[in-house]
Structure 1
């Protein structure tokens, strides 16, 4: 058991956008959490509703209502600005949690002050016992793609040791407050997708390590706000992949990565969408390329 001095305040932040019922399911699961020093912040990104259901059903939360949709990064940043915790735990609203998921994360942070980010083990919510995340491999400097460890595997305890890893998972990422003090908030230029990967790179560059904590478990329903396949998802994933390259991959590798994406990866993806009779998705990739040409500042 932890002593009273070992319960630093943890601020859980989640962003809601037209998914009140999904957010409510997360909040219900958080009511069962065993960690005793906790605040919960819900940031509403200008949903169509007035969030009366959330306000009335969960009076324990701090509800922040944005005047416009600021995306994943901006929404979380508004919560971070109001959070009082020593540890900021970003949780997608389409997750649900194990009651004891916070204690193992706090234990890792307290073991080593150089640990800046901790992500728990993540299972797919709708596929019992199937892993989505058990750590992350480095971003490939040529393709700008990362890879999560264990994805799609049945959890037989094969990833049950806490380890230093390369990437946290944006659906469930606990961050020491001093990381924000040193590198700033999440980069809002991304709006949606890749911002957490960029933030992980900045944290590592600042001297912090990233850890995977398998004794903490989160269940992820995945893509409840934008859909598992949608025009907005295709647009931002492709637009932001190139933005990530521009911001983080330097020198010859950076130019090779740019050329690979613009001349090979993006055209092939557009052709796949065209030949699969979904040209609207090809249009979104093209729009993402044009955005990068028009927005040259990083």
Structure 2
């Protein structure tokens, strides 16, 4: 049986308990050739002894600053020795069959990366079974929540919570773009991988459980800020025509709509975060000054 080495990489930020639950699920896997790497962001000490209680051979890399999702994963990718790399959010849990299924998919060398179906941890409803393309004007797209009846389905973007890529494709395309910090980096990475001629897939026969937004909160001002700022940044990188149309849409429609919604809900901090993201991402970058 061919069992290439698989490196599992996860980023922890002040959530050792959540990460240990992931390690618990990794320990139950029967795939024989695994390496697990934790990037412990914002770590001034060393929790290696805690993690090794749950997975004795886990490799822990302590990073004193909070380097963000993309850079944290890239540190892990650089340290990994596997022929295949599986990026997992630390707030996920996995089970047998996942590794084997993803590896089998990547036997097709035209496939650049593959994600499993992702289900919510609490109720096991489908969170992700693919994405639609991002609209060049609104900068929005949809998450596909119903898995295809076929084994594999195409997706324009993989999901950063769970994705496997081969060492060969990583060497060809590079790691995750680090100019996002949180959110949208896997969408930009997907765009880079596709630009090299690879396809992206969802494997509908395997799934993981995702506790979702444990680090940032499901509806926090921090999440609003980074999702808004990086949505704009992603669209600005898409090209001049699309970027201009999107900027007009964002200023005339998205900005007032979101501010009104947050104020109606009494979410003053969320409104502040949205204004700050707008000021940083459009006003400062395009016009050279901030207004909020």
TM-score relative to the length of structure 2: 0.92
**Cα distance between partner residues in 1 of 2:75 and 2:86:** 14
Using the TM superposition, give the Cα deviation of residue 164 of structure 1 relative to its aligned residue in structure 2, in angstroms: 2.2
Give 1:134's match in structure 2, choosing from 129, 132, 137: 129
**Cα distance between partner residues in 2 of 1:190 and 1:36:** 35
User: Residue 242 and residue 55 in structure 1: after superposition, are their counterparts in 2 closer, same or farther (change >3 A)?
Assistant: same
Using the TM superposition, give the Cα deviation of residue 55 of structure 1 relative to its aligned residue in structure 2, in angstroms: 3.8
Question: Which of 251-260 and 280-289 deviates more?
Answer: 251-260
TM-score relative to the length of structure 1: 0.90
**Cα distance between partner residues in 1 of 2:214 and 2:44:** 16
Q: Corresponding residue for 1:9? A: 5
Q: Is the 8 A contact 1:134 1:159 kept in 2?
A: no
Q: Corresponding residue for 1:254? A: 243
Using the TM superposition, give the Cα deviation of residue 183 of structure 1 relative to its aligned residue in structure 2, in angstroms: 2.4
Mapping of residues 149-228 of structure 1, within 5 Å: 149-150=144-145, 159-228=149-218
SS at 1:267 equivalent: helix
**Cα distance between partner residues in 2 of 1:238 and 1:106:** 34
Alignment RMSD: 1.7
Q: Corresponding residue for 2:258? A: 269
Mapping of residues 34-49 of structure 1, within 5 Å: 34-47=30-43
SS at 2:106 equivalent: helix
Give 1:93's match in structure 2, choosing from 86, 90, 93: 90
Q: Is the 8 A contact 2:24 2:54 kept in 1?
A: no
SS at 2:274 equivalent: helix
User: How many residue pairs align between the two structures?
Assistant: 284
| Aligned: 1:144 with 2:142 | no
User: Residue 246 and residue 158 in structure 1: after superposition, are their counterparts in 2 closer, same or farther (change >3 A)?
Assistant: closer
The CA deviation string for residues 175-231 of structure 1, in whole angstroms up to 9 with x for no partner, is 122232222211111000000011001110111110110122111110111111111
User: Residue 218 and residue 148 in structure 1: after superposition, are their counterparts in 2 closer, same or farther (change >3 A)?
Assistant: same
**Cα distance between partner residues in 2 of 1:48 and 1:22:** 19
Give 1:80's match in structure 2, choosing from 77, 90, 93: 77
Runs of at least 5 residues in structure 1 that lack an aligned partner in the other structure: none
Question: Which of 13-22 and 138-147 deviates more?
Answer: 138-147
Using the TM superposition, give the Cα deviation of residue 262 of structure 1 relative to its aligned residue in structure 2, in angstroms: 2.5
Using the TM superposition, give the Cα deviation of residue 49 of structure 1 relative to its aligned residue in structure 2, in angstroms: 6.1
Q: Is the 8 A contact 1:102 1:216 kept in 2?
A: no
